[in-house]
Structure 1
């Protein structure tokens, strides 16, 4: 069985949908479907000695659907276009501040803890979706694979704790919650927002796109400035 890769895709789908059903039934933020799936599949691969590259090859079709899935987030935007047109200045401002905060905080903390410039460049674009983060990190001398890990960690953290933090801070406005989630936790946070509220998901997907653009444009300028100020 382990010499073939036909089982990779069914295994991934079964584990994910089982984790999703468990999450919906128990309503516990820590039971995020992606986190639970990782907690099951990673030990399975380690225990069986199956190389990740071989596992990935068998389920590559899921990765190929990533970009169409991101594009599909444009549909909620279209349905909220009237609100976006009326508040576009505030939206751009929030996304700009959110992008700067995410990059400066991550980069400054990494430098303060003694990270090398290469690691800092990998951490800098942590709050945007994976393809943009990897490309941005590579353009400024970072390691794309480390960026991908940081993106996943930040996304899971936001998806699990984001709405609890909103409730604790009494942030109830759907647009504010959506913009904050999309700015900080990219696609994973957006997916969580879509599950809870359609309008919140629309603003989160909007922030996801805008912050991706802002980060890719500002990271090459901000990175050397951070090195100069904090290194």
Structure 2
């Protein structure tokens, strides 16, 4: 058994099984907090802890799965292409909404970390929390953050966004499909986009668009904002 654990097949197999259990549980219960990703992460941690398996052993397969993040992100262009006319029609509100979301995310992170007196590296690590993982890691490394913390923040942000997005839309009576998609994609990247796709094709397409553009804006804007932040502080 030990030889199998040390192969990439172990990490791949446990990831797939854990996610399938999470997906089955979510479909059966329909409880938002029982998100498949949250359940699968919990199950994997429990298995590694109970059987005293090193994280490095799991990562041999987990890293292979991570390679698919890029192609999956690009694949989101398919539903976007189907809604291209809708994008052209609402291009200015969409761009303004995404830019506002990115700026709000930056300000909220800086404000909260300042209130709780966090180390400056923590600020840099949490700033890219609302963009997709591949871009978030690069931004974190560029501005001097800790990529591992950034990844955790991105995952938590995505899961929370996917869980509360329908409730927030309902409470604030956000019925416009474009607005819902843009809000979800800007705030909770790929995990939120998966939820947006459940809500409808338009929501999914707009969320995928928002995820891509917010990642680009963050990569370009955040280093400048960090410089301004350091000057002001």
Shift of 1:227: 3.6
User: Structure 2 unaligned runs (5+)?
Assistant: none
Partner of 1:2: 2
Distance 1:59 1:113, change over 3 A: closer
2:151 corresponds to 1:148: yes
Q: Cα RMSD between the aligned structures? A: 1.3
Q: Does the Cα contact within 8 Å between 1:108 and 1:226 map onto a contact in 2?
A: no
1:50 is paired with a residue of what secondary structure? coil
Partner of 2:163: 160
C-alpha deviations, 1:185-215, integer Å up to 9, x for none?
A: 0011001111221110000000001100100
> For this pair of structures, how many residues does the alignment match?
230
Runs of 4+ in 1 over 3 A off after TM superposition: none
Partner of 1:187: 190
Shift of 1:90: 1.1
Select 1:28's aligned residue among 28, 31, 37.
31
2:14 corresponds to 1:11: yes
Partner of 1:200: 203
C-alpha deviations, 1:85-107, integer Å up to 9, x for none?
A: 11111111111001000111112
Partner of 2:99: 96
Q: Does the Cα contact within 8 Å between 2:69 and 2:134 map onto a contact in 1?
A: no
Q: Provide the rounded CA distance (Å) in 1 between the counterparts of 2:126 and 2:16.
A: 30
Select 2:225's aligned residue among 219, 222, 225.
222
Select 1:39's aligned residue among 18, 31, 42.
42
User: Structure 1 unaligned runs (5+)?
Assistant: none
Partner of 1:68: 71
2:122 corresponds to 1:122: no
2:128 is paired with a residue of what secondary structure? coil
1:181 is paired with a residue of what secondary structure? helix
1:115 is paired with a residue of what secondary structure? coil
Q: Provide the rounded CA distance (Å) in 1 between the counterparts of 2:111 and 2:25.
A: 38
Q: Provide the rounded CA distance (Å) in 2 between the counterparts of 1:128 and 1:59.
A: 20
